[in-house]
């Protein structure tokens, strides 16, 4: 069992291969004794914060059914960075915890003062410093040794933003069958979360998923108050870096739809409630959630009916089976919002997705707001759709069309975007097998500009339902695959903005050339030649 240890910035990252254990435990050496300092379940990586300066040794144990089934070799490494965490003790007090240097005589805290730069503000000879909160945004700490009346600094931590490690929002809503759904928005990087009831000393739930942001709560009364705590892993175990206010069941006032979120549903009884809960937990108040049942033959509609009955902003539409594109088009026709977004019935959105995209679109007067997304598998989270644009500023659409379907920017997801409804209603999806590949370039071509946010806000979940319709298509014959792909390319060439025809032809050729790498079918080259000649 191999163990990899990397120092990235001021953090330690450990990773190993998955051998299907129930959990993995990290042991660190201290005073010549190995002791367990952290563990994770369902993950093959772990992060350590606030590691003391010096030589370290560690190993990983894999545990299944209560017994150790494998153990990595000992790994030795030197840590010579300075790590820093900020903790909001209360509204008026900040606590800074940092790497311990045995040879240091003290530590000096620096704050970034507007127009001046970093200036020293407080010293300490312990491993933390407390100060009153002010207007400063960034801090860093430097360990030092004394040389007479002077201080000689050994190193410096990276700067930390005081707005990190805090809960921005927290909510509890009624879920299916009158259970509860807890959702939170944590600003910062946590290694996991602990959920408590108001009077409990031990957590009712814990997760080592630092990107987790929601939890279904069964058999709790609506009057129960909940508290969420964020932690990081340290050599001394978990350290709490953020604590939410207490929250209980709330009712949101819904006025009029500013954004319509469209969810097509087909035989989704096993997972759609979680997706609807995730949408309802959005911190954007005026969100219309349109769920289009595309001829399900299971209990999907019973679930949708419950939400339709209990939430005024949930709209239920039932139709005969016509495919996901037809379901989305039905939702588009019914949408009342100024903007439209899409979500699949097995995915999640983060609580601030709609509000952040909406605010960016309004601020920048953009036709489409975009953010990266997380793809979730058994191996964890990977980021997709990360575009090379500045954060939260208007970008001319030609700059996006220039790179669409180039290496690194192949993903054509429709769910990580917020669209002006007027554009979408004029240019609905084609009823094709590759509806996303065909529609994304088409709708983009009608936008004058976009705005891009750097933070992933949508969660494309491949763990809950690993096989997608795209996987089914991929098993078709090469001839059938070509025909579906051809129709997708021709759709956006023919239906896209005539003023962007040259861009659209170029985009189609890029995509087709990618397909040729995995196919010997000469029809791809013939189609590229016809597009080149202007036949399409």
Contact status, residue 415 vs residue 460, Cβ threshold 8 Å: yes
* Fold topology of 168-243: Immunoglobulin-like (2.60.40)
Q: Per-residue confidence of the chain (536 residues) as pLDDT tens digits?
A: 899 999 999 999 999 999 999 999 999 998 899 999 999 998 999 999 999 999 999 999 999 999 999 999 999 999 999 999 999 998 899 999 999 998 999 999 999 987 788 999 999 999 999 999 988 899 999 999 999 889 999 999 999 999 999 999 999 999 998 899 999 999 999 999 999 999 899 999 999 999 999 999 999 999 999 999 999 999 999 999 999 999 999 888 888 899 999 999 999 999 999 999 999 999 999 999 999 999 999 999 999 999 999 999 999 999 999 999 999 999 999 999 999 999 999 999 999 999 999 999 999 999 999 999 999 988 889 999 999 999 999 999 999 999 999 988 888 899 999 999 999 999 999 998 888 999 999 999 999 999 999 999 999 998 877 566 566 666 788 889 999 999 999 999 999 999 999 999 999 999 999 999 888 899 999 999 999 988 88
pLDDT reported for residue 378: 81
Strand partners, 48: 12
Rounded-to-5 percentages of helix, strand, coil across the chain: 25, 40, 40
CB proximity list for 451: less than 8 A, separation 6 or greater: 360, 361, 363, 364, 366, 368, 369, 370, 392, 393, 394, 395
pLDDT reported for residue 467: 61
Residue that is written with structure tokens 């509806």 in the block = 435
Q: Does domain 259-461 have CATH number 3.90.550.10?
A: yes
Do the strands 138-147 and 106-113 form a parallel or antiparallel pair, or are they unpaired?
Answer: antiparallel
Core vs surface per residue 88-100: b (16+ CB within 10 A) or e: beeeeebebbbbb
466-474 contacts at long range (C-beta below 8 A, 24 or more positions apart): 466/377, 469/324, 469/433, 473/433, 473/434
Strand partners, 239: 232
pLDDT reported for residue 362: 98
Q: What is the assigned CATH class of domain 84-161? A: mainly beta
CA distance readout (Å), 271 to 214, 344, 362, 422, 425: 14, 11, 33, 31, 29
Q: In whole angstroms, what is the distance from residue 118 CA to residue 269 CA? A: 55
By C-alpha distance, which of 5, 6, 44, 4 is closest to 24? 44
- CATH 3.90.550.10 residue window(s) in the chain: 259-461
User: Helix axis angle, 324-334 relative to 435-445, nearest 10°?
Assistant: 40
Give the count of beta carbons closer than 10 Å to the beta carbon of residue 43. Answer: 19
Contact status, residue 511 vs residue 518, Cβ threshold 8 Å: no
Token code pair at residue 55? 């030589």
Side-chain half-sphere of 46: how many Cα atoms within 13 Å? 30
pLDDT reported for residue 469: 57
CATH code for the part of the protein at 3-79: 2.60.40.10
pLDDT reported for residue 255: 86
- CATH 2.60.40.10 residue window(s) in the chain: 3-79, 84-161, 168-243
pLDDT reported for residue 476: 81
| DSSP secondary structure of 153-199 | E---PPPEETTSSEEEEEEEEE-GGG-EEEEEEEES--SEEEEEETT
Contact status, residue 377 vs residue 402, Cβ threshold 8 Å: no
SS3 275: helix
Core vs surface per residue 356-388: b (16+ CB within 10 A) or e: bbbbbbeebebbbbbbbbbbbeeebeeebbebe
Token code pair at residue 384? 């997709």
State the Rg of the chain over Cα. Answer: 26
Q: In whole angstroms, what is the distance from residue 171 CA to residue 280 CA? A: 10
SS3 27: strand
CB proximity list for 466: less than 8 A, separation 6 or greater: 377
Distance of CA 425 to the CA centre of its chain: 28
């Amino acid at each position: 069992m191999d163990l990899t240890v990397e120092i990235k910035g001021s953090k330690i990252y450990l990773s190993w291969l998955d051998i299907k254990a129930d959990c993995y435990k990290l042991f660190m050496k201290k005073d010549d004794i190995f002791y367990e300092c952290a563990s994770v379940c369902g993950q093959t990586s772990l992060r350590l914060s606030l590691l003391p300066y010096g030589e370290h040794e560690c190993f990983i144990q894999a545990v299944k059914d209560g017994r150790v089934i494998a153990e990595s070799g000992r790994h030795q490494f030197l840590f010579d960075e300075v790590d820093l965490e900020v903790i909001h003790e209360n509204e008026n007090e900040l606590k800074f915890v940092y790497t311990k240097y045995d040879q240091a005589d003290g530590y000096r805290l620096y704050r970034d003062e507007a127009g001046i730069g970093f200036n020293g503000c407080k010293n300490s000879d312990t491993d933390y410093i407390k100060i009153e909160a002010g207007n400063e945004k960034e801090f860093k700490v430097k360990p030092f040794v004394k040389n007479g009346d002077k201080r000689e600094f050994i190193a410096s931590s990276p700067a930390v933003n005081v707005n990190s490690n805090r809960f921005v929002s927290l909510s509890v809503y009624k879920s299916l069958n009158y259970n509860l759904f807890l959702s939170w928005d944590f600003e910062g990087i946590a290694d996991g979360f602990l959920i408590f009831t108001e009077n409990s000393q031990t957590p009712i739930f814990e997760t080592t998923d630092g990107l987790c942001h929601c939890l279904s709560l069964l058999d709790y009364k609506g009057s129960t108050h909940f508290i969420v705590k964020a932690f990081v892993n340290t050599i001394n175990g978990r350290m709490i870096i953020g604590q939410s206010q207490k929250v209980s069941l709330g009712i949101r006032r819904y006025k009029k739809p500013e954004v319509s979120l469209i969810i097509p549903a087909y035989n989704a009884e096993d997972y759609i409630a979680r997706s609807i809960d995730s949408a309802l937990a959005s911190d954007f108040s005026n969100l219309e959630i349109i769920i289009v049942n595309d001829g399900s033959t299971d209990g999907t509609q019973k679930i949708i009916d419950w939400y339709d009955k209990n939430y005024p902003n949930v709209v239920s539409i039932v139709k005969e089976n016509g495919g996901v594109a037809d379901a989305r088009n039905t939702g588009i026709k019914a949408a009342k919002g100024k903007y439209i977004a899409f979500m699949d019935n097995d995915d999640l959105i983060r609580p601030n997705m709609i509000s952040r995209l909406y605010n960016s679109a309004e601020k920048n007067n953009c036709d489409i707001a975009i953010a990266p997304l997380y793809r979730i598998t058994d191996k964890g989270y990977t980021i997709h759709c990360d575009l090379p644009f500045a954060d939260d500023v208007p970008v001319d659409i030609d700059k996006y069309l220039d790179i669409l379907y180039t290496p690194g920017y192949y993903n054509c997801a429709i769910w990580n975007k917020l669209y002006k409804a007027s554009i979408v209603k004029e240019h609905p999806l084609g009823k094709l097998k590759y509806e996303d590949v065909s529609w994304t370039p088409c709708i983009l071509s009608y936008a004058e500009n976009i705005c891009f946010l750097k933070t992933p806000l949508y969660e494309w979940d491949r763990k809950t339902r690993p096989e997608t319709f795209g996987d089914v298509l991929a098993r078709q014959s090469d001839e059938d695959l070509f025909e579906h792909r051809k129709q997708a390319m021709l759709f956006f060439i023919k239906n896209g903005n005539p003023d962007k025809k040259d861009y659209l032809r170029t985009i189609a050729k890029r995509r087709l050339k990618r397909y040729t790498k995995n196919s010997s079918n000469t029809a791809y080259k013939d189609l590229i030649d016809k597009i080149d000649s202007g036949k399409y």
